[in-house]
Structure 1
Amino acid sequence: MPHVLIIDDEPCVRAVLVEFVKDEGFTVAQAGNIKEAKIQILRQAPDLVLTDLHLPDGNGIDLFPLLQSSNTDVVFITGHASVDSAVEALRLGATDYLVKPVNLQRLGLVLSRIPRLGGVSAWGMSFEEDGRFGKMLGKSAPMRQLYERIRKVAPTDATVLLMGESGTGKELAAQAVHELSPRSKDPFLPVNCGAISPNLIESEFFGHERGSFTGADRQHKGYFERANGGTLFLDEVTEMPIDLQVKLLRVLETGLFMRVGTNKEIASDVRVIAATNRDPEEAVAEGKLREDLFHRLNVFPLELPALRERGDDMLMIANQFLDSLNKEHETHKTFSPETLQAISAHAWPGNVRELKNYVHRVFIMADGDMIKAGLIPLQVSSAKASATSGTHISVPVGVPLADADRRLIFATLEQCGGVKKHAAEVLGISLKTLYNRLEEYAAAGYEPRIANEAARDNA
């Protein structure tokens, strides 16, 4: 999905633009000044930058050198319109120039010119080359089998269910299915089902009409409407409330849904790809996932292998991450043979995500060009193994599932020393989901017992 960066020092202006751009089917990042904008650009290269010309710490034109090596379009939005500034911006490579208050119809035309992904990857290279398939890295036998299955299912409209541990790259696999499908020129919209407030989840999925509830001061298009023609990726689908699962099943079977606050049905042409890091059959047995929805999603299951099952892929991926950091920071750091051996020997319970974080940490810690073993003890990353050994909780028969979940989460968090990121990995849920659960428990008067209180804010 194309990505837009909005830069403006007025929060109200950013809020309006962010909502409009999201409704048009784009992912969005925002910044209030040049410094924040540079951070966002390094995190994810945008396809389009909408920037105010005059910012608190400089001029929007100052960003051009950072964007010259990419195919990013730059459009200036300013209340200080003048012929001279417009000519200068266009001379430097801006594609357009808008004046506040922004005409949203004209902005819609600007967005319509942004190309959608087709036969090339997001960074403009061929979709596949040796050791890379879309944005996925690896050439081990399990990954080659995965690539082949993606090639088979992508051209169809079959619903795909991605299964695998946290950090194995389920969203990247979903993107690959989308990019190889006839829907590749339309939106790819990822949704984390466990990160949405239960009070807003129906509105977020199906949209709402103005005045349908307190605070609904404008019509809102939901995920199914914004992804129309494209692909909707439902991550952590087992975290979706049961009552919404009923409505999702109906959309999948009929292709129709209704916005909150109306009885008018809207047709939806969306391919659904779902993902879970839990065993879906266990989720059905536990009452977390409706059996009929599971069978509707499980048309074409794809299992993503854990990193520990992928042999030399972990060394290739580590070197790829390191190469990217060297290029970004203009350095020439390399792994020592001992470090490579330690990487190969580690189990990587957090999979590719954990490996990426580890490479970033040792890159920062290394003083010279050689990254030596022992800079960051790999045992720190093995919370999953240590936290699950020798610790048990007892749950009497008849205890509600919600109470059992709470006890398990608290016990795991305590065993992990309050480090929420490790606890989330052990539980097989996202960090956002863990935070949401802890906020719900706190509102109900429940708090975990953690010996080191300072660790409670450690993500």
Structure 2
Amino acid sequence: MSVGRILVVDDDAAIRTVVREALRRDGHVVETAASVAEQRRKMTEFQPQVLVTDVILPDGNGLDLVPEMLADHPRMPVIVLSAQNTLATAVRATEQGAFEYLPKPFDLGELSRAVADALTARGAGLDDLADAGSGEDLPLIGRSPPMQEVYRTIARVVANDLTVLVLGESGTGKELVARAIHDMGSRANKPFVAINMAAIPRELIESELFGHERGAFTGAAMRTAGRFEQAQGGTLFLDEIGDMPFEAQTRLLRVLQTGEFNPVGSARSIRTDVRIIAATHKDLQKLIADNAFREDLYYRLNVVPVRLPSLRQRTEDIGELALHFLEKAAADGLPRKRLERAAIERLSRHSWPGNVRELENLMRRLAALSREEWITVSIVDQQLSGDMVASEGGAPAIASGGGLADAVEHHVARYFATFGRDLPPDGLFERILAEVERPLLKLTLAAVKGNQLKAAKLLGINRNTLRKKLTERGIDPSDVRRMG
């Protein structure tokens, strides 16, 4: 590993000490500074090869100083640390010319690798990153570590035309990522055109993508431009690419290879200039193994993968998202509502099979149906339990009557209602089973005061099966015993 002179700038003495000692263990020579003024002095005295700086400093902003530092020291990579963990910060760091952006709290191993990469890049002369576009009015929300990784990937690709493949469950915001990449890139003033492969009949896919000439097929009364022509100069977003028919995949691959296409029914070639962003909730590797997706097309699309976390993997973002969706609902004319802290905690414990889309739909329903200004934990609990129905006055009420089968049917219906025309993510049986088994196991154990032998007998399963299910469902028998 390359070693060098590293200057660490942070107003937190503990962070300066920890980072300094970690980098020294890697063999680097390290100096520290607590302010902009001290940083400027150390830059002259120490002549660092890599600068590691915080954003918020007592006498200035570390991001604002990056262009100045690079102007005076053009071969010095700058690594930015920030507790302001938003996409705007990540993009702005890239805009200012930072080599790397690490959100706080950061992993020391990750910082060590970033410093090593910076020294290598400095030696190769790769110390300048291009403009990443505007960072205003960004659509992505959340400060969790999984989202930080998404922001960093986006920040790296907005300044170029590399093909991006966005992967994630339905409802995680794949189109928002595609729009963010387009809106912050050099093609922002050109068209953004989206096409959902799962929503178009397979016999019309090629016509939709490449257009058709008059008379090309029955009903083709006039020449029609396809999505490639409509997106000329801009970005074409191919949503649900995993649902694209195999024969259409072949034509798409040819376009990606040659940069040209022929409208249906025409021998005329059209040169295309579009950036391709594709997305899917399906496992493309499995589709390849099943001969349902072309492996060569997969590698053409998967140049830069962006993996979106499920909402279950970023529960710390739920409060911020919920409040944002309530504000958005109010901006759309729905009553303005406020959310109790206990209600946010209840939202954070939910499994969210529909991800961010399900959360947004829930917030809009609560804004529309809740009579009170404050949304309480009991109202949220009723909604998440599938018990809220609209009363005559439009306020939420508890549904009465019906047995377990009715309750389960109502709950499963919510999964499908959440996605509208789409289907929920694969694995619905296991998710429903887990949601039914968990309370059954907990209540049974509580009824027998934690005695697993009695619980197994009562449930009609053997004790080993009970233990396995408790482990699978994350149930601690000692906690249940205390509850009982």
Q: How many Å apart are 1:211 and its aligned residue?
A: 1.3
Relative to the length of structure 2, the TM-score reads 0.53
In structure 2, the partner of 1:194 is: 198
Q: How many Å apart are 1:330 and its aligned residue?
A: 7.2
Contact 1:164–1:303, Cα closer than 8 Å, also in 2: yes
Partners of 1:360 and 1:255 in 2: how far apart? 43
SS of match in other structure, 1:216: coil
SS of match in other structure, 2:305: strand
Matched, 1:275 2:282: no
Deviations 1:245-285 (A, max 9, x none): 00000000000100111111111111111001012211211
Q: How many Å apart are 1:422 and its aligned residue?
A: 5.9
One-letter amino acid of the counterpart of residue 427, structure 1: D
Change over 3 Å in CA distance of 1:164–1:366 after alignment to 2: same
Q: How many Å apart are 1:119 and its aligned residue?
A: 5.2
Partners of 2:253 and 2:427 in 1: how far apart? 24
In structure 1, the partner of 2:385 is: 379
In structure 1, the partner of 2:330 is: 326
In structure 2, the partner of 1:138 is: 142
Deviations 1:196-224 (A, max 9, x none): 11221111111111111111111100011
Partners of 1:309 and 1:321 in 2: how far apart? 19
SS of match in other structure, 1:374: helix
Contact 2:191–2:234, Cα closer than 8 Å, also in 1: yes
Which stretch shows the higher mean deviation, 200-209 or 135-144?
A: 135-144
Aligned pair partner of 1:240 in 223, 226, 244: 244
In structure 2, the partner of 1:292 is: 296
Q: How many Å apart are 1:367 and its aligned residue?
A: 1.1
Aligned pair partner of 1:158 in 162, 176, 180: 162
Contact 2:187–2:233, Cα closer than 8 Å, also in 1: yes
Q: How many Å apart are 1:420 and its aligned residue?
A: 3.8
**Unmatched 5+ stretches in structure 2:** 1-131, 388-408, 429-484
In structure 2, the partner of 1:427 is: 426
Aligned pair partner of 1:147 in 135, 147, 151: 151
Change over 3 Å in CA distance of 1:415–1:226 after alignment to 2: same
Partners of 1:261 and 1:293 in 2: how far apart? 24
Question: RMSD of the TM alignment (CA)?
Answer: 2.5
Contact 2:162–2:303, Cα closer than 8 Å, also in 1: yes
Partners of 1:380 and 1:280 in 2: how far apart? 34
Partners of 2:254 and 2:188 in 1: how far apart? 25
Change over 3 Å in CA distance of 1:364–1:418 after alignment to 2: closer
One-letter amino acid of the counterpart of residue 196, structure 2: N
In structure 2, the partner of 1:342 is: 346
Aligned pair partner of 1:227 in 217, 225, 231: 231
In structure 1, the partner of 2:20 is: none
One-letter amino acid of the counterpart of residue 296, structure 2: D
Partners of 1:334 and 1:291 in 2: how far apart? 49
Partners of 1:428 and 1:296 in 2: how far apart? 28
Partners of 1:345 and 1:289 in 2: how far apart? 37
Aligned pair partner of 2:313 in 301, 309, 315: 309
Return structure 1 stretches of 4+ with deviation > 6 angstroms. none
- Whichever structure has more helix as a proportion of its residues is 2
Contact 1:277–1:428, Cα closer than 8 Å, also in 2: no
Q: How many Å apart are 1:414 and its aligned residue?
A: 12
Contact 1:136–1:173, Cα closer than 8 Å, also in 2: yes
SS of match in other structure, 2:195: strand
Deviations 1:362-410 (A, max 9, x none): 12221111112233431349xxxxxxxxxxxxxxxxxxxxxxxxxxxxx
Change over 3 Å in CA distance of 1:428–1:154 after alignment to 2: farther
Contact 2:336–2:367, Cα closer than 8 Å, also in 1: no
Partners of 1:154 and 1:420 in 2: how far apart? 35
Q: How many Å apart are 1:300 and its aligned residue?
A: 0.7
One-letter amino acid of the counterpart of residue 426, structure 2: L
Q: How many Å apart are 1:336 and its aligned residue?
A: 2.3
Contact 2:167–2:174, Cα closer than 8 Å, also in 1: yes
One-letter amino acid of the counterpart of residue 190, structure 1: A
Aligned pair partner of 2:369 in 355, 365, 368: 365
In structure 2, the partner of 1:266 is: 270
Relative to the length of structure 1, the TM-score reads 0.55
In structure 1, the partner of 2:359 is: 355
In structure 2, the partner of 1:176 is: 180
Change over 3 Å in CA distance of 1:417–1:321 after alignment to 2: closer
Partners of 2:185 and 2:302 in 1: how far apart? 19
Higher relative contact order (CA 8 A, sep 6+): 1
Larger Rg: 2
Deviations 1:399-447 (A, max 9, x none): xxxxxxxxxxxxxx99946974468114389xxxxxxxxxxxxxxxxxx
Contact 1:416–1:422, Cα closer than 8 Å, also in 2: no
Change over 3 Å in CA distance of 1:380–1:340 after alignment to 2: same
Q: How many Å apart are 1:329 and its aligned residue?
A: 3.5
Length, aligned pairs only: 271
Contact 1:119–1:127, Cα closer than 8 Å, also in 2: no
One-letter amino acid of the counterpart of residue 270, structure 2: I
